[in-house]
Amino acid sequence: MAELNLIAVDKIYQSRGKPPVHAVQGVDMRIADGEIIGLLGSSGCGKTSTLRMIAGFEEVSRGEIRLGTRLLNDLGPAERGVAMAFEGYALYPPLTVRDNIVFALLRAKTPRAEIDRRVAEIAALLEIEEILDRYPPTISAGQQQRTSLARALVRRADLSLLDEPMSQLEPQLRAILRARIKDFLIQHKMTTVFVTHDQTEALALADRIAVMEGGVLQQFATPADLKEQPANLFVASFIGEPPMNIMEAEVIESDIVVRTQRNEKAFILPAFPGDRPGDVRVGIRPHRLKVGTGPLQGQVVSNQWLGDQTHLGIEVAGVLLVAVTDGALSVDIGEHVPVDLPGDALHLFDAAMGKALRHGMGPVA
């Protein structure tokens, strides 16, 4: 096991007759030995290209990738000491599930007793004991995905790379396996990088998450920091379900004047010392917005009960906000309710660049 370092890594795809595509731009990440890292973002954001460069299936256009003291750039995939579970599974059809899982162990001349022990452990973990003697074409897509995952995890490689590792699993099984896999990775101190577009999966599995967009690493932080201290407007609005409420506003002396989409004055929030005059964006997480108390009045425009919480759409002076409350909330559409946006729950962002200026009571460090 070893620390993984990405140093100013770029990926530029060249295509004859077309302009180059800068898919990954100057990514820097230092991943500690035994750390579990999620690469999170929408389709085309650069996360899979980053994973494939680490694995050796894509060349690095610029920059360095190091695993411990070894420079990986010019090493082939088989020379890197890396195990990968592919989104497309990449199983050998003529081999049984068992033989697919142990293929790399046999090549490494692992003792048979150790192979059998590891296969039993990983098959129980992923609930594939009953299909070990079947062939990939005869099993479901979810079972194929678990087989690919088993083949990667059983190796105990210096680095494990997982590309959308649970995308084909039914929700209940996915929830169970997340916890099991995380415990397995922690128990065996396996340095792991996985790609996902599923926020829940990233938040549940990862020690830290790299949020990517447009080939750029937007923020690399713990799940808690991504929620409570987003680096910019993109991260603030991307992380969280429902996403953060974002309002157009302007700091004028001791006031934050919130405006409607028509640029009309909606309501005033108190500014904090250090808030600089000018256009800003104000954010608040839906679960931090208080309903039933506060100085503002809002009209309920939607009320959704989701079984364990209520999502309310509330229009406050022409500004639409979403609030989340635990349990059912008995309010009718059209009803007016008191609303509070606590100062310690507010986030301020630069309107032009999107950079975070303040989280809660204090400025961004």
Q: The domain containing residue 276 runs over which residues?
A: 236-363
**For the domain that residue 287 is a member of, what is the CATH number?**
2.40.50.140
Q: What is the pLDDT of residue 365?
A: 63
User: Among the three residues 198, 229, 260, which one is the final residue of a domain in this structure?
Assistant: 229
For residues 295 and 161, membership in a common domain is answered with no
- Name the one residue in this structure whose structure tokens are 């898919």: 23
**Cα angle 82, 88, 93; round to 5:** 95
For residues 195 and 256, membership in a common domain is answered with no
For residues 19 and 133, membership in a common domain is answered with yes
Please tell me the distance from the alpha carbon of residue 150 to that of residue 41, in angstroms, as a whole number. Answer: 25
For residues 140 and 242, membership in a common domain is answered with no
Write out residues in the chain with pLDDT < 70, as ranges.
1, 362, 365
Q: What is the pLDDT of residue 1?
A: 61
Q: What is the pLDDT of residues 4-21, one digit of tens each?
A: 999 999 999 998 888 999
For residues 67 and 165, membership in a common domain is answered with yes
Helix (H) or strand (E) holding 312: strand 309-316
Which amino acid would we find at residue 174? R
Interior/surface letters 34-59, b for 16+ CB within 10 angstroms, e for the rest: bbbbbbbbeeebbbbbbbbbbbbebe
Q: What is the pLDDT of residue 324?
A: 94
User: Among the three residues 229, 245, 264, which one is the final residue of a domain in this structure?
Assistant: 229
Helices (H), 46-205: 47-55, 97-107, 112-126, 141-153, 171-187, 199-205
Q: What is the pLDDT of residue 168?
A: 86
For residues 20 and 57, membership in a common domain is answered with yes
For residues 76 and 126, membership in a common domain is answered with yes
237 SS3 class: helix
Q: What is the pLDDT of residue 202?
A: 94
Can you say how many angstroms the Cα of residue 65 is from the centroid of all Cα atoms in its chain?
Answer: 21
Q: What is the pLDDT of residues 130-175, one digit of tens each?
A: 999 999 999 999 999 999 999 999 998 889 999 998 888 888 999 9
Q: What is the pLDDT of residues 308-344, one digit of tens each?
A: 899 999 999 999 999 999 888 888 899 999 999 999 9
362 SS3 class: strand
Please tell me the distance from the alpha carbon of residue 289 to that of residue 346, in angstroms, as a whole number. Answer: 9
What are 38's strand-pairing partners? 194, 209
Compute the residue count for the chain: 365
**For the domain that residue 18 is a member of, what is the CATH number?**
3.40.50.300
Please tell me the distance from the alpha carbon of residue 155 to that of residue 331, in angstroms, as a whole number. Answer: 55
For residues 31 and 136, membership in a common domain is answered with yes
Please tell me the distance from the alpha carbon of residue 139 to that of residue 309, in angstroms, as a whole number. Answer: 38
Can you say how many angstroms the Cα of residue 244 is from the centroid of all Cα atoms in its chain?
Answer: 16
State how many domains the chain has. Answer: 2
Q: What is the largest CA-CA distance in the chain?
A: 74
For residues 201 and 99, membership in a common domain is answered with yes
Which amino acid would we find at residue 224? A
For residues 219 and 251, membership in a common domain is answered with no
For residues 87 and 216, membership in a common domain is answered with yes
User: Among the three residues 178, 198, 229, which one is the final residue of a domain in this structure?
Assistant: 229
Please tell me the distance from the alpha carbon of residue 221 to that of residue 340, in angstroms, as a whole number. Answer: 29
- Name the one residue in this structure whose structure tokens are 């997982």: 162
Question: What is the β-pairing status of strands 82-85 and 245-252?
Answer: unpaired
For residues 120 and 32, membership in a common domain is answered with yes
